[in-house]
Amino acid sequence: MKNLRTLCLLMLGLIVTFTSCEENDENDQSSECPELSFERDGGKLVANFEEINSLDTYEWFVNDQLAETESLEDQRDNILDISEYEVGTYTICVKAETPDCPEGVEFCKEIVIEEEGNESCPNLAFTREGEYLIADFEGIANLGFYAWKITGEVLGNETLIENEGLDFQGDNKFLLSTLQAGKYTICLISESPTCTQAEPFCKEIEVGDTNNGSCPELKFIEEGTLMFASFPGIDQLSVYEWFVDGQLVETENSQNQERDDLLDLSSYNPGTYTVCIKAETNDCPNGVEFCIDVVIPEPQAIDCTVFDVVNYEDKIAIATTLSITDIDPNSVIWTIDGAVITPITPRVARLQDHVNQSGTYEICYKAVSQTCGDLEKCIEIDYQG
């Protein structure tokens, strides 16, 4: 009896040990599996999980049927198009297997396809807060596109459109100080593949002249991390200032030979910043400002296809090399009609700093990237002074 009891205890110990090992193996395996996921964007499902770029292959399944295979070798798009699916409810999964996850892993959602036009459109709305109009309505955080539409007697036959939404990284605000004094009809409009007839939301807005005079129409454009001030009368404005998140960062003074009318944010950390230019004049004693929310993105993989040299308003040449981060700065050479020049920044050359007469000039950019090799392009600019 004693021997039998001892044998039973030994067998029980082996079973417990074996079961424990199995559980550990299962836990170890699951921890090595990628965490799959996808999101719906209208008529598309977009895979967007963290390890997607290191996963060679994964598959889309619809109601347990293989629908599409995503492979790095086939220049995959990580998208399943469901725009042509019939009305109904579908169980859609992404599945993957790897050497570290041999039994595979999956992520599934139930997706409802409704009849066209049945999906509710957003109830667009905005309110006025001082010099800003603020868009605020249910679903705004997930809306790919909507826009401000501005008409009025002051504009004549012109209609102003300012795009908003996720597709345009908008800030859901419209700055009224960018408009001249007068009455305007300002509307929010929207459309999407699932909502082609959203009801516009409109208000009559009066923009007053609080300065009792003439203020300059300040404006700047965003080119990557460079902000270029560009507005009528800029050469006659003796002083204006750049602000970032309410803090003065740079003063542009016509008495300073180093005035370049640009602000470089390349040293800023990734994030969203409110960038403004502000000015006061004798005719505009209360001041005027123009602001944009600027997004500095997280560092991305180098894409050599983005390289280009573009003409801005026949005055400035810009090399679109922001995402090509391994350019040797000592290799950058700008020329105008073959003569080497010193640009404002390694990416920007301004003609007025180097030519005195109107005419057509050839501007060339050369540089060397470790990833992309030799980068070179020439453009012609019809400079009018």
Taking alpha carbons only, the member of 6, 83, 11, 72 closest to residue 40 is: 83
Q: Is residue 13 domain-resident?
A: no
Q: Is the pLDDT of residue 367 over 60?
A: yes
Q: Is residue 348 domain-resident?
A: yes
Taking alpha carbons only, the member of 130, 132, 135, 117 closest to residue 201 is: 135
- pLDDT class of 18 with cuts at 50, 70, 90: very low
Determine the residue type at 304: C
Same domain, 135 and 179: yes
Cα 171 from Cα 148, distance rounded (Å) = 12
Give the range of the structural domain holding residue 357, as residue numbers without chain letter: 304-383
- DSSP class of residue 198? P
What integer pLDDT is reported at residue 196 of this predicted model? 65
Same domain, 197 and 143: yes
Same domain, 203 and 260: no
Our measurement of the distance from residue 220's CA atom to the centroid of its chain's CA atoms, rounded to an integer in Å, reads 18
Burial 3-19 (b: 16+ CB within 10 A, else e): eeeeeeeeeeeeeeeee
Q: Is residue 183 domain-resident?
A: yes
Dump pLDDT digits (tens) for 106-115.
Answer: 999 988 887 6
* Mean pLDDT across 61-83: 88
Dump pLDDT digits (tens) for 185-226.
Answer: 999 998 776 676 678 899 888 887 655 457 788 888 887 788
Higher-confidence position of 77 and 20: 77
Same domain, 122 and 198: yes
375 neighbors 303 (Cβ within 8 angstroms): no
Q: Is the pLDDT of residue 323 over 80?
A: no
Dump pLDDT digits (tens) for 103-153.
Answer: 899 999 988 887 654 456 788 899 888 778 999 888 888 888 889 999 988
Domain end position, chosen among 170, 189, 208 = 208
Helices assigned H by DSSP within the chain: 2-31
What integer pLDDT is reported at residue 241 of this predicted model? 94
Same domain, 122 and 204: yes
Cα 298 from Cα 125, distance rounded (Å) = 32
Same domain, 126 and 108: no
Sign (positive or negative) of CA dihedral 154, 160, 164, 169:
negative
Same domain, 100 and 67: yes
Domain end position, chosen among 246, 278, 298 = 298
The residues near 250 (Cβ < 8 Å, ≥ 6 apart) are: 241, 242, 263
Token representation of residue 129: 């807060």
- pLDDT class of 337 with cuts at 50, 70, 90: very high
Q: How many domains does the chain have?
A: 4
Taking alpha carbons only, the member of 60, 56, 65 closest to residue 44 is: 60
**Is the pTM of the predicted complex or chain greater than 0.75?**
no
The shares of helix, strand and coil residues in the chain, as percent rounded to the nearest 5, are: 15, 45, 40
Q: For 73, phi and psi rounded to 5 degrees?
A: -70, -20
Q: Nearest-5° angle of CA 15, CA 19, CA 24?
A: 150
Same domain, 266 and 308: no
Higher-confidence position of 305 and 13: 305
Domain end position, chosen among 236, 267, 298 = 298
* Mean pLDDT across 266-294: 87
Q: Is residue 49 domain-resident?
A: yes
276 neighbors 132 (Cβ within 8 angstroms): no
